[in-house]
Amino acid sequence: MSGTITLDETHTDTVTGKPYKVILFNDDHHSMDEVAMQIIKAISCGAQKAIEIMKEAHNSGRAIVFTGGLERCELVAEILEEIRLGTKIEPA
């Protein structure tokens, strides 16, 4: 399981046409439930998908939470960072 989730059919930056991805880093300061709940809030996914993403970050050190346009990626990262989770946005 890659941990990638997309919300719509096409997510690209409107200026460059290139997609970006939001990476979530492993977190030792929050419970797994807190991280999963923040993922649900950030990408509007189900609990099972959020748990898969959270477990991938926990086990691998990082997980792709979302792939899409830059503006949407910035919003997803901002929501994850509300509880000080570590994120990074990079080209997909």
Tell me 29's DSSP state: S
Q: Which of 41, 63, 68, 66 is CA-nearest to residue 52? A: 63
The DSSP letter of residue 49 is H
Asked if residue 67 lies in contact with residue 21, where contact means CB atoms within 8 angstroms, the answer is: yes
User: pLDDT for 22-60, tens place per residue?
Assistant: 999 999 999 999 999 999 999 999 999 999 999 999 999
**Rounded distance, CA 78 to CA 71, Å?**
11
Q: 3: pLDDT confidence band, cut at 50, 70 and 90? A: very low
Average pLDDT score, the chain: 87
Which residue is associated with the tokens 């990626």?
Answer: 73
For residue 90, the SS3 value is: strand
Q: Which two tokens stand for residue 74?
A: 């910035």
Delimit the domains of the chain by residue range: 20-91
9 or 90: whose pLDDT is higher? 90
Span 20-91: which CATH code?
Answer: 3.30.1390.10
